[in-house]
Structure 1
Amino acid sequence: MSSVTDTVSLTARRSSRFVAWVRAWRAGLVPFDEVAESIAAGEEHLVADAPGTWTDVPLADALPSLAKHSPDDIRLVLPAAGDPRGLPGPGDFSGAALLAGEAVVTAGLGFVPQVRSHTSGSGMTFETVLWRVFPLAADAPAASLTMPGAAEAEAELASVLAETTMTLTRLDVAAWRPELAGALAALRRPDGVTDLPPGFDPRARRLFARAAVLDRVLVLAGQAAPGGAVNGYEAQQRDAALRPLTTACRRALVAACNAPLRP
């Protein structure tokens, strides 16, 4: 696996996996024993301040606090500066969610992931994910219902992606990040890959597959700044071109993960 692939794979939204798998579990579509492992995807996940606990606990030990929630009580939010949609209002949870750029909203509880880096005695660096739990109002998930549905989000993403690709081609994107240009081109082809659990319809699966890959590509673009653009003006043009695509991508991920489930 290349260093580029490593970078991309590590930027997947952890809250999207949390929401998708917990919702499927609460709908009776996947067994509880699979949920924590599927969310963690090989990482170590701990939870701080979970109800009934006094210290950090493994993710599997904290998930029973959601055992009485319905699938519609569990929602993904991907807030950004100037775009706090889906958050229940000002407070500690909303501040932490904005800082992380992602969170899980449930009836009574909010979960925000924090990535912590550690260095062992031998000098090796490794990471753990700590989900911090915040108390929320019982009607908190209702705030995210104003987000677009899967059909609207899919149309928006396709339109913005086409416009952005044309702009980046004009800016000679291949000269500053060849793998990003290739990834953008690949996204225009049908992609049958999906990471969603059972219960999501084909549109939600298709939307999530495209948006999840694109989300990682956009992180690469941010890490590449100022990239190989000839001058600062071109770098600003590139960033301006990517901004609406970033917004459309966030909306697509939210719409896919919060889509109605089917038995």
Structure 2
Amino acid sequence: MLHRRSDQQIPAPPGQRSATLAAWVRSWRAGLASFDELLDEVTGGEEHLVRHPDGTEESLAAALTASPRVSPDAVRVVLPAAGDPRGLPGPGAFSSAALVVGEGVVLGATGLVPEEDTSSPVLPDPADRWAGTRWLAYPLPETPVPVEPLTLAEADHDLTMALTETIGALRQLDVARLPPGLARGLAALRGEDGAGPALPVGYGPRARRLSARATTIAGVLALASADASGAAVNAYETSARDAALRPLATAARRARAAAVNSPLE
């Protein structure tokens, strides 16, 4: 969970599993973080498995240690969305799967996507529900699509502009605003770095600030989406509110990816 200074709890936003994995694998491959630190941060004590194309499974730890050594720059997070495939290596099974769940990790010639949770939220015995993550491994295209670079400065500027414009749009919409308190939370973020999870050793101050701020904003938006109607009173106002939030969601998603994928220092 992400937390702000108030009593409002902000959930981890979509894509956080892949962002965390990519950041820590990059730091580990650079020799800046230990493998034990990587596992602690990524798994949080839960079981993480990797399923390969041939149907075999192994632990995430075994898969990472057995994978070919790649440079930190060959590891990156992708946080795609419908109509915005930025960062994907091109058509293929990995890109299709990452678009469905909105996240994935490029690890050299392999792509990892967390399996979508299709289990029932209500089970006779909660203890029967597996608490862990299964990563599906996919081979990547031999000639991937070149990555569109987005610098930290560009991502920070786009996020600031989107936040300002979104707050202004929400104020004009009045009844189509966010659920009570969340609009104020967005406004407060204009002057704060945010409270997202810290990036590992190797990332510079600017990447850390951008990651924390963008992750917190994405968490606020995830919390807002849990209340589909917010303060809107009809379908038109709900649609208008969603339209006002969409550019900010895009900017936050791109900023998170830019921070995680930025060059290590």
TM-score between the two structures when normalised by the length of structure 2 = 0.86
CA distance in 2: counterparts of 1:31 and 1:172, whole angstroms: 50
CA distance in 2: counterparts of 1:199 and 1:231, whole angstroms: 48
CA distance in 1: counterparts of 2:66 and 2:244, whole angstroms: 42
1:139 CA displacement? 5.4
1:132 CA displacement? 0.4
Q: Specify which of 30, 36, 48 is matched with residue 51 of structure 2.
A: 48
Q: Specify which of 132, 139, 156 is matched with residue 135 of structure 1.
A: 139
Instruction: Note if contact 2:80-2:103 (Cα within 8 Å) is conserved in structure 1.
Output: yes
Structure 1 pair 173–210 and aligned structure 2 pair: CA distance change class (3 A): farther
1:4 CA displacement? 6.6
CA distance in 1: counterparts of 2:177 and 2:254, whole angstroms: 29
Helix, strand or coil for the counterpart of 2:132?
A: strand
Structure 1 pair 174–233 and aligned structure 2 pair: CA distance change class (3 A): closer
Structure 1 pair 224–138 and aligned structure 2 pair: CA distance change class (3 A): same
Structure-2 residue corresponding to 1:101: 102
Structure-2 residue corresponding to 1:155: 157
Matched, 1:216 2:219: yes
Structure 1: stretches of 5+ with no match in the other structure: none
Structure 1 pair 66–179 and aligned structure 2 pair: CA distance change class (3 A): farther
Structure-2 residue corresponding to 1:165: 167
Matched, 1:83 2:87: no
Instruction: Note if contact 2:176-2:233 (Cα within 8 Å) is conserved in structure 1.
Output: no
Range with greater deviation from structure 2 (225-234 or 195-204):
225-234
Structure-2 residue corresponding to 1:33: 36
Structure 1 pair 226–208 and aligned structure 2 pair: CA distance change class (3 A): same
Q: Percent identity?
A: 48
Instruction: Note if contact 1:85-1:143 (Cα within 8 Å) is conserved in structure 2.
Output: no
Instruction: Note if contact 1:173-1:181 (Cα within 8 Å) is conserved in structure 2.
Output: no
Structure 1 pair 42–182 and aligned structure 2 pair: CA distance change class (3 A): farther
Q: Specify which of 248, 256, 262 is matched with residue 259 of structure 1.
A: 262
Question: Counterparts of 1:175-186 in structure 2 under 5 Å?
Answer: 177-186=179-188
Instruction: Note if contact 1:174-1:181 (Cα within 8 Å) is conserved in structure 2.
Output: no
Structure 1 pair 109–200 and aligned structure 2 pair: CA distance change class (3 A): same
Structure 2: stretches of 5+ with no match in the other structure: none
Q: Deviations over 1:206-255 (max 9, x none)?
A: 00000111111112222222222022221111111011111111110111
1:96 CA displacement? 0.3
Helix, strand or coil for the counterpart of 2:198?
A: coil
Question: Counterparts of 1:189-200 in structure 2 under 5 Å?
Answer: 189-191=191-193, 193=195, 194-200=197-203
Structure-2 residue corresponding to 1:9: 12
Structure 1 pair 80–178 and aligned structure 2 pair: CA distance change class (3 A): same
Matched, 1:64 2:65: yes
Structure 1 pair 11–44 and aligned structure 2 pair: CA distance change class (3 A): farther
1:121 CA displacement? 5.7
1:107 CA displacement? 2.0
CA distance in 1: counterparts of 2:126 and 2:192, whole angstroms: 43
Greater per-residue helix proportion: 1
Matched, 1:122 2:125: yes
